[in-house]
């Protein structure tokens, strides 16, 4: 597949990195030579300096033979124009990154497909959707449902005095007699580990499990976590992410939003009728205390300043808030969350890149889930008749070492897939895989 990516910023670079594992024919286009140089030295892609709204640049990139054109620069206008021009020059499919979500709601009315834009992506809207998903269970750092919860992928941090602390997976198997869950991967000191039986759980590990519904409560207890229902939420920052989050969350929870700019607060009152808007400096601990931070179940910091978001989340933790989420711009910070005390750090650009990657990968793969800070993907496959994965038990398949079969959905029931399990045609199989193994994993399901 020939893919042109316009924009070598965080979204474009992360996308190119994910797709480079697939051995796709990728051309990265940008006007910034230093960004292209950085990409060339880190990933196996072709680069082209030039404007993506230039006919000649797109033609030099091979737009006539492009299966996909991804316009993900920081400029909404550039992205829309790139998609339209690229489509008219021969690109089969086009995706444009936008910040103005009015386009999302008026997509059908505007008939954007006729203009040449097949798909729109809003990092701000996707980040708000991710925040809503992360708030489902306060004890967990991440959660993702397959088939309405028949199988679940959950992340949890291992605290001091947890029953599984400093024990191997094999030695803790007696704590999971019903085989309700399986350890899928561990994030430790910024490194992603696909575990084996002799792998030990360590304090501050962020461990990801594939679990049946009945196993979630057991995992929370094994990690020495306290389960708390979320009712009250405080949002710091009236950014686009803050606005989208408040709109989604105020339908389910009591929401307070703190914004420093007075004029912005008046705008927010009109936009968010079900949210209490507070004008004030969110970095002021006294203000947070006056607004009842100690009574909050969750604190979400989404200002334009990563450091403010991280520090305010730590203040919230210090005041007893059970769930904290910080929006950060620097992707290097994501791995720090498990070490410094913020439950989850999210980056809207990485969320957008992962979403586009899933959009591209539709096929035998039914769905994909990205895990925050983890260099791995969770994939759900629908098993075809006579595919390689049905020929032997899991332990005899010689599955890639960087991948793990977590669970199977069969006839409306979820199963944890251990070594002696046989996968059948029409099963839906949940697999966790490092990016470099995805291509090999796919070969088992073809």
Q: Which domains are present in the chain?
A: 2-121 (3.40.50.720), 128-133+228-350 (3.40.50.720), 351-443 (3.30.70.1450)
Burial 163-194 (b: 16+ CB within 10 A, else e): ebbeeebeebeeebeeebbbbbbbbbeeebbb
| pLDDT of 6 | 97
pLDDT tens-digit map of 347-395: 888 888 878 876 676 545 555 556 666 777 788 888 989 899 999 999 9
Q: What is the pTM of this model?
A: 0.76
How far, in Å, CA of 101 to CA of 283, rounded? Answer: 29
| pLDDT of 106 | 66
Length in residues, the chain: 446
Return the residue matching tokens 């705008």: 267
pLDDT tens-digit map of 184-193: 889 888 788 8
Phi, psi of 413 (to 5 degrees): -135, 140
| pLDDT of 40 | 93
DSSP string, 407-444: EEEETTEEEE--TT-B--TT-EEEEEE-GGGHHHHHHT
| pLDDT of 369 | 57
- Which of residues 258 and 23 earns the better pLDDT score? 258
How far, in Å, CA of 187 to CA of 141, rounded? Answer: 12
| pLDDT of 258 | 96
How far, in Å, CA of 48 to CA of 36, rounded? Answer: 8
* Percent of the chain residues past pLDDT 70, beyond the cut: 93
Residue 440, pLDDT above cutoff 70: yes
Q: Which of 94, 99, 86, 102 has its CA nearest to residue 118?
A: 94
Considering the chain, what is the average pLDDT of its residues?
A: 88
Residue 196, pLDDT above cutoff 50: yes
pLDDT tens-digit map of 89-119: 999 999 999 987 777 766 667 778 888 899 8
């Amino acid at each position: 597949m020939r893919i042109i990516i316009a924009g070598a910023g965080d979204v474009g670079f992360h996308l190119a990195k994910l797709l480079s594992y697939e051995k796709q024919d990728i051309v990265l286009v940008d006007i910034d030579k230093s960004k292209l140089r950085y990409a060339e030295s880190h990933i196996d892609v072709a680069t082209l300096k030039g404007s993506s709204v230039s006919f000649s640049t797109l033609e030099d990139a091979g737009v006539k033979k492009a299966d996909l054109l991804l316009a993900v620069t920081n400029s909404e206008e550039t992205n829309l124009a790139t998609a339209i021009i690229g489509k008219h020059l021969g690109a089969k499919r086009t995706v444009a990154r936008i910040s103005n979500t009015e386009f999302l709601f008026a997509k059908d009315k505007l008939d954007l497909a006729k203009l040449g834009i097949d798909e729109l992506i809003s990092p701000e809207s996707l980040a708000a959707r991710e925040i809503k998903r992360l708030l489902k269970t306060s004890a967990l750092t991440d959660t993702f449902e397959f088939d309405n919860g028949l199988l679940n992928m959950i992340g949890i941090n291992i605290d001091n005095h947890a029953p599984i602390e400093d024990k191997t997976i094999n030695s803790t198997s007696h704590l999971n007699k019903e085989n309700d869950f399986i350890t899928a991967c561990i994030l430790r000191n910024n490194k992603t580990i696909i575990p084996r039986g002799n792998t030990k759980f360590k304090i501050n590990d962020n461990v990801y499990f594939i679990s049946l519904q009945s196993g979630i409560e057991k995992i929370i207890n094994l990690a020495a976590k306290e389960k708390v229902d979320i009712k009250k939420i405080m949002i710091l920052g009236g950014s686009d992410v803050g606005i989208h989050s408040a709109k989604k969350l105020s339908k389910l929870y009591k929401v307070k939003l703190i914004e420093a700019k007075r004029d912005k607060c008046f705008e927010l009152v009109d936009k968010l009728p079900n949210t209490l808007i507070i004008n004030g400096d969110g970095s002021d601990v006294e203000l947070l205390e006056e607004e009842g931070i100690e009574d909050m179940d969750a604190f979400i910091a989404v200002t334009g300043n990563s450091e403010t978001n991280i520090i305010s989340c730590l203040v919230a933790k210090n005041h007893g808030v059970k769930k904290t989420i910080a929006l950060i711009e620097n992707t290097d910070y994501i791995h720090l969350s498990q070490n410094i005390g913020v439950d989850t750090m999210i980056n809207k650009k990485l969320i957008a890149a992962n979403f586009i990657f899933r959009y591209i990968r539709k096929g035998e793969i039914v769905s994909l889930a990205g895990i925050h800070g983890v260099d791995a993907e969770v994939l759900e496959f629908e098993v075809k008749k006579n595919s390689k994965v049905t020929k032997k038990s899991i332990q005899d398949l010689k599955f890639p070492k960087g991948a793990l079969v977590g669970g199977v959905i069969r006839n409306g029931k979820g199963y944890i897939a251990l070594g002696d399990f046989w996968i059948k045609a029409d099963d839906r199989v949940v697999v966790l895989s490092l990016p470099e193994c995805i291509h090999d994993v796919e070969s088992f399901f073809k």
